[in-house]
């Protein structure tokens, strides 16, 4: 009796089984709603089965190769043609064999809706329709069981549709949801059957079918409808390696109450590689039936496949070229992914040994993004990109890099530089304190500390201790200035004595002869009032980097001090401080304004 039911189950499976090739945008058993890029041709074989299933105690094995060809004439539309074949045996030792297959076409459309300003994630609704032709052949030599031969030759035509929904999170994690309907109509067929154990298999198989038949040769119309559904999860652990898991069901419409009988799970691994003009992926997986109350055995299948994609319509529009380097070492970064955010139709570029990349750019404004697992992501808007000889330099910050903290420590009353001790106390870990000192002449400091949360203390002789708290991330460059309150406040004159400024050439720190009058006036004042002290305040224009300008302003003030000391002025009566490009006196947008800002002011204290 079990073998009679087995044969009946195989006949039903041959008549109504369906398996479509999916393409690279999807998993083994589900579609993705977003289509391939325009002009992409896919050649793939996603399903190669090795099946081992126990049906009512009898082993069934089979191998099922398949081939799919798909083409996307537009970003949001994709056409596919597929052909699948299954060759198998029922209880191999008995020599019972069967063959099944189908072929057809699929049309899929889907539009991604991007989320967030960077457009790195999206929701894509879509729809797919398919039609397929299905021939089935079966030859059962039951002589090893003591029965006669059974044969079947059936052809069928099917069609159906699916609603699609895809959630993609930063191209790392993806969820595909499919749901739809298919119909299969038997066009013609023939059976050659005999009695088995006193039971007519043809009668048993067809008693529920409202047809008239000839037991040895017949033609009959049979139709079946199936509700299809599936959910898949796809997680990329690295740029080239991911995990996929499908949960799928194809439930006959007249047996929806027992849908658990038709559910199976397909876990697998995916390896993907790509370039500007081509890409390919390799999939390995297995299919497992879900045990239920009506099944005594667990069926399984081993699956594998290869997908290859070619861009037949490359867009040779404008491109941006550049180099990706480590910001700290200036060394090229290998394996960085550079792409245009929010434009999935533009292929990314992967940097080689020299760190170079080339990416097509869209019309209008865009954001250039560089990613690497060892570095913080780099974003730059198109209007901020600066080119040198047609090449842009992208400087990425290592995730292990620290933050740079710099600034000056001066007195609150006289603005004079202070030789101070800086203490960085870590608040988020038990790490030791980091101690640093300012430059005694300029009060300037620059140090690098690991990323974290700190309380920064400043202590100096003759001044009250103070502190500031801060959160620092890798790659930060923070300017933190301190103005210390003295432990005693000196009595200052009610009004400062105004003296002429001393001006400098662009980038220079040399005191020219044209400034003799200002120098002589300062010397006379200091010689007349032996208790007067002065402060030399250096400045620059805004041309160049801020840090270089600060150092230049200090050198200019020091140059004036040297002239005064050579004329017999006590150096302890002279304080030197630099303000760089800050506190301009003139407009830096004009030549005369920039000259007015390249100066040293002499302020009497």
Same domain assignment for residues 38 and 148: yes
Q: What percent of the chain has pLDDT over 90?
A: 20
Lowest-pLDDT choice from 229-233, 297-301, 453-457: 297-301
Domain boundary among 364, 396, 428: 396
Same domain assignment for residues 363 and 445: no
- Per-residue pLDDT at 193 exceeds 90: no
Same domain assignment for residues 279 and 130: yes
Q: pLDDT of 308-354, one tens digit each? A: 887 777 655 578 889 999 988 889 999 999 998 877 667 788 998 89
The answer to whether position 269 is within a domain reads yes
Q: What is the DSSP string of 146-182?
A: T--EEEEEEEEEEEEEEEEEEEEETTTEEEEEEEEEE
Same domain assignment for residues 282 and 168: yes
Position of tokens 């150096």? 571
Cα–Cα distance between 109 and 79 in angstroms, integer?
A: 9
The answer to whether position 279 is within a domain reads yes
More confident residue, 371 or 518: 371
pLDDT score of 129: 93
Same domain assignment for residues 533 and 599: yes
More confident residue, 452 or 19: 452
Give the length of the chain. Answer: 605
Q: What is the largest CA-CA distance in the chain?
A: 136
The answer to whether position 202 is within a domain reads no
pLDDT score of 399: 80
pLDDT score of 137: 60
Same domain assignment for residues 167 and 229: yes
CATH label of the domain that carries residue 163: 2.40.160.40
Same domain assignment for residues 34 and 157: yes
CATH label of the domain that carries residue 550: 3.30.1330.60
Q: Residue 458 belongs to what domain range?
A: 403-484
Domain boundary among 379, 396, 413: 396
192 in Cβ contact with 150 (< 8 Å): yes
Cα–Cα distance between 560 and 515 in angstroms, integer?
A: 10
- Per-residue pLDDT at 148 exceeds 60: no
């Amino acid at each position: 009796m079990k073998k009679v039911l087995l044969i009946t189950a195989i006949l039903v499976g041959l008549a109504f089984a369906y398996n479509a090739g999916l393409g690279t945008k999807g998993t083994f058993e589900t579609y993705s709603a977003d289509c391939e890029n325009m002009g992409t041709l896919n050649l793939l074989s996603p399903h190669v089965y090795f099946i081992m299933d126990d049906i009512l105690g009898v082993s069934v094995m089979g191998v099922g190769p398949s081939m799919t060809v798909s083409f996307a004439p537009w970003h949001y539309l994709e056409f596919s043609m597929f052909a699948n074949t299954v060759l198998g045996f029922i209880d191999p030792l008995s020599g019972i064999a069967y063959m099944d297959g189908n072929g057809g076409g699929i049309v899929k459309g889907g539009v991604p809706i991007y989320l967030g300003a960077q457009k790195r994630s999206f929701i894509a609704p879509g729809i797919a329709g398919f039609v397929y032709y299905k021939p089935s052949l079966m030859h059962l030599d039951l002589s090893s069981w003591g029965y006669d031969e059974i044969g079947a030759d059936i052809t069928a035509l099917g069609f159906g549709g699916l609603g699609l929904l895809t959630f993609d999170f930063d191209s790392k994690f993806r969820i595909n949801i499919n749901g739809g309907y298919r119909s299969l109509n038997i066009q013609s067929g023939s059976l050659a059957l005999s009695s088995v154990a006193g039971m007519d298999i043809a009668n048993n198989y067809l008693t529920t079918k409202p047809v008239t038949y000839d037991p040895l040769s017949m033609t009959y119309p049979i139709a079946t409808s199936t509700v299809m559904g599936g959910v898949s999860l796809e997680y990329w652990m690295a740029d080239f390696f991911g995990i996929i898991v499908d949960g799928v069901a194809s439930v006959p419409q007249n047996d929806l109450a027992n849908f658990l009988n038709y559910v199976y799970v397909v876990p697998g691994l995916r390896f993907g590689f790509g370039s500007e003009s081509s890409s390919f992926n390799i999939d390995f997986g297995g299919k497992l039936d879900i045990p239920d109350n009506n099944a005594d055995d667990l069926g399984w299948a081993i699956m594998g496949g290869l997908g290859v994609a070619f861009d037949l319509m490359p867009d040779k529009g404008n491109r941006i070229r550049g180099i990706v380097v480590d910001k700290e070492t200036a060394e090229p970064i290998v394996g960085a992914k550079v792409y245009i955010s929010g434009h999935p139709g533009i292929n990314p570029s992967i940097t080689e040994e020299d760190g170079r990349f080339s990416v097509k750019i869209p019309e209008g404004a865009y954001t250039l993004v560089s990613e690497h697992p060892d570095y913080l992501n780099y974003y730059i808007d198109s209007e901020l990109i600066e080119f040198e000889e047609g090449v842009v330099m992208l400087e990425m910050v290592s995730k292990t890099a620290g933050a740079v903290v710099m600034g000056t420590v001066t007195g609150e009353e006289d603005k004079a530089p202070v030789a101070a001790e800086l203490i960085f106390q870590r608040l988020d870990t038990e790490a030791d304190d980091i101690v640093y000192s300012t430059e005694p002449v300029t009060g300037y400091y620059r140090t690098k500390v690991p990323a974290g949360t700190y309380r920064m203390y400043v202590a100096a002789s003759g001044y009250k201790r103070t502190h500031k708290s801060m959160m620092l991330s890798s790659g930060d460059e923070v300017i933190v200035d301190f103005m210390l309150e003295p432990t005693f406040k000196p009595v200052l004159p009610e009004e400062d004595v105004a003296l002429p400024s001393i001006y400098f050439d662009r980038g220079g720190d040399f005191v020219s002869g044209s400034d003799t009058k200002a120098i002589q006036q300062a010397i006379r004042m200091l010689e007349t009032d032996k208790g007067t002290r002065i402060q030399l305040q250096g400045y620059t224009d805004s041309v160049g980097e801020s840090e270089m300008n600060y150092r230049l302003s200090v050198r200019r003030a020091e140059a004036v001090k040297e002239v005064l000391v050579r004329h017999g002025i006590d150096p302890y009566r002279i304080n030197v401080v630099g303000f760089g490009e800050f506190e301009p006196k003139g407009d830096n947008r004009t030549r005369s304004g920039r000259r007015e800002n390249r100066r040293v002011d002499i302020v009497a204290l």
